[in-house]
Amino acid sequence: MAKQTAQWRQSSRIFHERAGEYDGWYENSLLFDIEKNALQSLHLPHSGPALEIGVGPGRFAEALGIPLGLDPAFASLLLAKKRGIIPCQAIAEELPFATSSLGAIYLLFTLCFLESPHRFFKECRRALRPEAPLILGFVPAGSAWGHHLLQKKEGGHPFYQSARFYTVGQLTRMFDEHGFQVQGRASTLYQAPGKVTELEEAKAGLDEQAGFVIIAGRTPARG
């Protein structure tokens, strides 16, 4: 546990200290618009309350109408609160929510920072109501964008110093191992890093070459 605590504290410290810089990235960002449109294209119905884990400054939560936001970075949560998000300071592997209390969980661009993805999936399975969706958006390791972020990590970029990137295959296996039945799939962002000049429509399915992939799964009904 000591090792896990050290890692999440180090990662969250960067996002706490540079929350304003990270928030500013979203201003007039075509990337944000492409990713937001892809999430909205899935049209996944769910009952509240919904939670975004790794909410950061709350840009996605605000755009998607997600009322609850969890993050270990305190300064980011203050920005999310200003956007009307109810903040909660905690980590993905230890959700402070009662069993079967949540109607949906979103994890967007945060998987790469988790110490234990498997503990995260177990916590989601516990906290979600039966048949409630888990929506996970990430950058595939094998894509041009995945290689781009890996280069940033290797170059010492502060935001990515502890990041670990996963393939589409690894994610689908995690969903299966933890009992989530995949029901939504979308891929987008085929323009190369540094060459994004226009909006893109999301494509159905999971594509390792896409810069942003969304997998949505549900737990089966109990009983």
Residue-wise pLDDT for 141-169, tens only, equals: 999 999 999 999 999 888 888 899 999 99
In a domain, 28, yes or no: yes
Provide the terminal-to-terminal Cα distance of the chain, rounded to the nearest Å.
Answer: 35
Intervals of the chain under pLDDT 50: 1-5, 223
In a domain, 210, yes or no: yes
In a domain, 8, yes or no: yes
Q: What is the domain range of residue 107?
A: 2-218
d(CA 218, CA 184): 9
d(CA 13, CA 110): 15
In a domain, 223, yes or no: no
d(CA 28, CA 213): 22
In a domain, 65, yes or no: yes
Q: Which pLDDT does position 93 carry in this prediction?
A: 95
Q: Which pLDDT does position 19 carry in this prediction?
A: 66
In a domain, 40, yes or no: yes
Amino acid in the structure at residue 177: E
Please give the tally of structural domains in the chain. 1
CATH number of 70's domain: 3.40.50.150
Query: pTM for the complete prediction?
Result: 0.91
Q: What is the pLDDT of residues 102-133, one digit of tens each?
A: 999 999 999 999 999 999 999 999 999 999 99
